[in-house]
Structure 1
């Protein structure tokens, strides 16, 4: 290698400085093109205006009315809001002061413009966090391999020219020596080539790991995973963006770095070497590079003007792939319901429709690529080949008669062979640079999807959700406040120290801004077992979502128990101790969630018992016996058996297992949403009696009269926005019209989806 470097340096020093400068300028003009940019749109105003602040570990501070005569000066762009001052937390249970600063998504066509550069820089800061990171080490090693491969290419081309020269001279000894060098250089050359591909794959994996970890942190911060799917409508199929789009983006970034770096190295060194050979042949060294520069620049401008918008096409294709995958996932998740209904024809039609849309988009891309690739191949293969022949012939045709050795047939043959190989490498480098434009604009499409995903995650974590909403009619008792066509939560959330729940004129408003009940006022203390009744769609389950903090409070005052202040509940990573206090609220839906893991993991969810925790196993056995699941546990292999519990257990067994979770954690309040509809009445009565004995306050939505006696108060909704809260008279409960209508309602109310 030192001999190779010395040879290249010696050849480079023979080139005149003006020639090197001219060639460098020509290469720069050929490799780079000026593309139009677009003015950046002003970000829409921020719509959060909650007037409360919840500090870390439950400290609360209420805010006065928001001032509207000050200018924000931040990303809001309009009136100063509490969010832009950093004075609010739109999560009803935990703090969001550490949420990332975000800005709104702007509608634009992906392409090579300033917006793409801004997105790429923002994502690069995530993928490469610092100069001492693992990614920088991989980039450095990858760059050194690319640089070494360029030197090896020049040396191999020079060696091949020398071999041809000695073949023409019939020098068998020198030919044999150079041939042995040829086979010797193949070992490091193949190693370098393999290392380039290996480091490119490692680099893509490292970039993906950084992005995935950052995205997961945002995705699980302040229940973003729930809010993105239910309260925000800007991202469809977030799972596809978190998996496929991030993977394709990082692979494209790593491949694009190789596609741009090595051609630049090739051009800088190969052009200098070609100029030195032309100077050695005593020919004109300015005409050939000048012609090549003009041809390459003209080719680049023509291809730029006629190139389709590959970025927008790639983004649309990715969206359709995500839609097709979503339809498949939906069919798998609801296969049993579809089979019972016999809805295979409808599902087949939806699958075929999604696939036809994808096929039509891909066909459109193929059609646009057809003529563009034809034009590209004509310019880069035939036009450039003819220009290369002119460049090779000019130094010989215009060379002087001086210098016997340089004008010999063997010397000219060596020059032609070496220059042809170097020129082919330079042409290949320029072609890769020109072809990389398609990769860049395709990368812009995926960069837009990944960047928009992270922006939405950050905004949703801060409480800003955007979706289509309905403006309530004027005759309703409560009117949602809107700013810039987006709802503004005006309610106050406060913490209580006596474990009580209080609602003062709190409306029940869906994420689409439908007011299902206005001004609900009630007091719930530990021991106040509340029965919630009413027709379907009247807001029974929605009340649970508001109390739990999943939905924003649009008006009134909501007082909830102060959350636990221990390190475990505050999601501090430096603590390994579990929370020793009772959880405040525990929600059990009609269709409980079965997580991956053993049967013991299902009982202890959302916590996990240690493998050697005998006390947890014994407690789980007692609870399973209480909910009459001990026989099923023995049949399925015991507490440590791992199965697909969603498919293994029946509907009633899943509901009893969800009640076992409640008994294991012993919360202060249990939000029971038709959670025993598939359980026999005898078992249901046993579980309710056990819950009351354990000191668990029940907030129940149920249609079975057998469990009414375990409740002390009733909250009745009539479906027209009216409600009543009163103490439950167990003897006359059967005569209540609202309770009777609830009891005779045949279908159990499924969890509402928003």
Structure 2
């Protein structure tokens, strides 16, 4: 039997046999061939669109997920990171392995559940469309019982639909939180470890690390978690609603919708600005603005003494103006694109939708068939309208997929730059690590320069500090005194020679600028230990009070409200108290060697002498950097630095 178009069935049937004929066509071989033809056309259309997208992204090349440091070497130009291309796919592949570490991880299970509920919601949407069509038909036929039955059915199906919608929202937000936890933990492990944290002091190629960890990772996690449901469900909806639509109006209507949206997607892609670069630049400018305010708070007192508030206000306003101008340009670009989005994806689709709905209406169905025909047309119109609304929304989201990808690329680039930077620190400077373990401090023919190697500070430095050989390093400003400690601690690389340094628990550094963590008064004294560490070592509060008494700070416990008091200690302590607290840490840890970098400049001379004597009493070997000549009496050797990259050594003191 030859295939007969669906409209021919409608024209050839009277009102009484229309429904029976329609049911027969479902099982007719010609109709089955028609369905196969329709499904094939739909798959071909989606396949062509997907191929064009993959071709645009450069996905036809084989992907091998490399580490950030390898990608940084291979794809050096920064602008390549801000496009949706092969580099973006490599970056996303690397990040996806972090946020979804395995097929049985919690994140993978949540993605599977999200997929299941997305399919359920699509099926519920189709069922709701069918019920709405039946209700409209019953209303036109004035069948009260059928109408009430339909309304009750709609109310019943709304219960699981509401639950599914709530679960989808919960799973999406939960995944965003889990993704952020994975990425943040990974960033902390990479950034806050011994070697990497020290080396990032040298690396100035990446800005706003705090901004990238605290905000960019959060934004990227939300974008990724929202991207999957906003992409997978529309694709499923397109397939199911297209099939549903073809059973009502034929494949011509579905083909018209798909062709229109492919054309819309092509137009939008040609006119779409570089949102990836705009997003990345916005985050960068916002980070700069936050940095200047943080810097202002840190140095408020110094700025007030210099009366520099006008200068700082101008600087901060200029920074915000740059951020404001960029955001205004971003908003204008989004507004222009939204105009085309609304017209092409919403209103233009409505026009095409009316043409599709009109196919069965003006195709011969409305030829005065009586009351039954009117109800059937009403049911068909309501169902097709709802199907078109859902189908248009789904295809519209698929068309705007590239827009979401460009936004994701901006955040991906900034987070990936963070990971590649902390990896490259170790990767590029691993061969410069010349510090070796020993039971003494020794520099053997060591050349020291600034990290960028532009200025040589000390040439062929050689000296030893054995246990009990207290040593003081003196010299003019800028001659490289503090750089000796930086190289010894592994913060700066040495150009040549060998350095021997005791293990971490045998040497303790006290820098020029005191640091106070957000913690209790007790943990200011025992830093970097925690209260649990002190308890494990058997150190009581009475012993800590004795340490404070050695530095004339015993009054702090009562003044600040006890050992568990927590305050902004940087603002609470005076300059002398800050330096004394730093020395209390040396009294607590009792290292074999203690390196003091001008850390008693705010302490009176008599208290300073008392502190040095106490360090010697507890068995510490002192290595001091200072300009104060009277401190030579507490040392046995003097290393005198010069302006000409040289030095000299001699015995001094009486200890």
Deviations 1:483-523 (A, max 9, x none): xxxxx84x744333xx2222122112111211111111112
Correspondence 1:366 to 2:351: no
CA distance in 2: counterparts of 1:39 and 1:186, whole angstroms: 41
Alpha-carbon offset, residue 607 of structure 1: 1.2
Structure 1 window deviating more from structure 2 (704-713 vs 646-655): it is 704-713
**Change beyond 3 A, Cα 1:102–1:425:** closer
Kindly indicate whether the alpha-carbon contact (under 8 Å) linking 2:448 and 2:456 is maintained by their aligned counterparts in 1. Answer: yes
Alpha-carbon offset, residue 695 of structure 1: 1.5
Matches within 5 A, 1:392-403: 392-399=357-364
Deviations 1:112-163 (A, max 9, x none): 2111111111100000000111101211121122111111111111111101
Structure 1 window deviating more from structure 2 (288-297 vs 593-602): it is 288-297
**Change beyond 3 A, Cα 1:461–1:120:** same
CA distance in 2: counterparts of 1:100 and 1:385, whole angstroms: 49
Correspondence 1:691 to 2:633: no
CA distance in 1: counterparts of 2:338 and 2:543, whole angstroms: 69
Deviations 1:12-32 (A, max 9, x none): 996621211112222444577
Kindly indicate whether the alpha-carbon contact (under 8 Å) linking 1:30 and 1:300 is maintained by their aligned counterparts in 2. Answer: no
Stretches of structure 2 lacking an aligned partner (at least 5 in a row): 1-22
Alpha-carbon offset, residue 463 of structure 1: 5.0
2:35 to 6, 16, 25: 16
2:91 to 119, 139, 142: 119
Q: Give the secondary-structure state (helix, strand or coil) at the position aligned to 1:122.
A: helix
Kindly indicate whether the alpha-carbon contact (under 8 Å) linking 1:102 and 1:459 is maintained by their aligned counterparts in 2. Answer: no
1:502 to 433, 442, 459: 442
2:191 to 195, 211, 219: 219
Q: Give the secondary-structure state (helix, strand or coil) at the position aligned to 1:508.
A: strand
Match for residue 554 of structure 1? 495
Match for residue 56 of structure 2? 36
CA distance in 1: counterparts of 2:181 and 2:27, whole angstroms: 44
Alpha-carbon offset, residue 529 of structure 1: 1.0
Alpha-carbon offset, residue 436 of structure 1: 3.0
CA distance in 2: counterparts of 1:554 and 1:656, whole angstroms: 35
Match for residue 391 of structure 2? 426
Match for residue 215 of structure 2? 244
Alpha-carbon offset, residue 396 of structure 1: 3.1
Match for residue 13 of structure 2? none
Q: Give the secondary-structure state (helix, strand or coil) at the position aligned to 1:16.
A: helix
CA distance in 2: counterparts of 1:512 and 1:342, whole angstroms: 34
Q: Give the secondary-structure state (helix, strand or coil) at the position aligned to 1:318.
A: helix
Deviations 1:182-236 (A, max 9, x none): 22222221221121111110010011111111111101223423322x2112210
Correspondence 1:654 to 2:578: yes
Match for residue 248 of structure 2? 277
Q: Give the secondary-structure state (helix, strand or coil) at the position aligned to 1:36.
A: helix
CA distance in 1: counterparts of 2:27 and 2:223, whole angstroms: 36
Match for residue 560 of structure 2? 636
Q: Give the secondary-structure state (helix, strand or coil) at the position aligned to 2:464.
A: strand
Q: Give the secondary-structure state (helix, strand or coil) at the position aligned to 1:506.
A: strand
Q: Give the secondary-structure state (helix, strand or coil) at the position aligned to 2:627.
A: coil
Kindly indicate whether the alpha-carbon contact (under 8 Å) linking 1:507 and 1:519 is maintained by their aligned counterparts in 2. Answer: yes
CA distance in 2: counterparts of 1:705 and 1:717, whole angstroms: 14
Q: Give the secondary-structure state (helix, strand or coil) at the position aligned to 1:464.
A: helix
**Change beyond 3 A, Cα 1:403–1:264:** farther
Structure 1 window deviating more from structure 2 (587-596 vs 635-644): it is 635-644
**Change beyond 3 A, Cα 1:641–1:109:** closer
Deviations 1:701-730 (A, max 9, x none): 122333220011111112221211222266
Matches within 5 A, 1:121-136: 121-136=93-108
Correspondence 1:288 to 2:259: no
1:197 to 169, 179, 183: 169
CA distance in 2: counterparts of 1:458 and 1:265, whole angstroms: 40
Matches within 5 A, 1:308-347: 308-347=273-312
CA distance in 2: counterparts of 1:412 and 1:382, whole angstroms: 24
Match for residue 47 of structure 1? none
Alpha-carbon offset, residue 346 of structure 1: 1.6
CA distance in 2: counterparts of 1:286 and 1:606, whole angstroms: 71
Q: Which has the higher helix share?
A: 2
Give TM-score scaled by structure 1 length: 0.78
**Change beyond 3 A, Cα 1:640–1:379:** closer
Correspondence 1:524 to 2:544: no
Kindly indicate whether the alpha-carbon contact (under 8 Å) linking 2:121 and 2:164 is maintained by their aligned counterparts in 1. Answer: yes
Alpha-carbon offset, residue 301 of structure 1: 1.0
Match for residue 168 of structure 1? 140
Match for residue 618 of structure 1? 542
Match for residue 642 of structure 2? 718
CA distance in 1: counterparts of 2:45 and 2:178, whole angstroms: 36
Structure 1 window deviating more from structure 2 (156-165 vs 406-415): it is 406-415
Matches within 5 A, 1:89-108: 103-104=72-73, 106-107=76-77, 108=80
CA distance in 2: counterparts of 1:11 and 1:719, whole angstroms: 98
Alpha-carbon offset, residue 368 of structure 1: 1.9
Correspondence 1:590 to 2:528: no
**Change beyond 3 A, Cα 1:641–1:291:** closer
Structure 1 window deviating more from structure 2 (606-615 vs 445-454): it is 606-615
CA RMSD of aligned residues (A): 2.8
Q: Give the secondary-structure state (helix, strand or coil) at the position aligned to 2:136.
A: helix
Stretches of structure 1 lacking an aligned partner (at least 5 in a row): 1-6, 42-74, 77-98, 279-284, 466-487, 565-582, 732-754
Deviations 1:628-679 (A, max 9, x none): 1101222212323222221111111111111110011111111111111111
CA distance in 2: counterparts of 1:192 and 1:558, whole angstroms: 64
Q: Give the secondary-structure state (helix, strand or coil) at the position aligned to 2:82.
A: coil
CA distance in 1: counterparts of 2:426 and 2:570, whole angstroms: 30
Pairs aligned (count): 617
Matches within 5 A, 1:419-458: 419-458=384-423
Kindly indicate whether the alpha-carbon contact (under 8 Å) linking 1:517 and 1:721 is maintained by their aligned counterparts in 2. Answer: yes
Q: Give the secondary-structure state (helix, strand or coil) at the position aligned to 1:641.
A: coil
CA distance in 2: counterparts of 1:542 and 1:700, whole angstroms: 13
CA distance in 2: counterparts of 1:521 and 1:137, whole angstroms: 60
CA distance in 1: counterparts of 2:382 and 2:56, whole angstroms: 41
Structure 1 window deviating more from structure 2 (144-153 vs 641-650): it is 641-650
Match for residue 178 of structure 2? 206
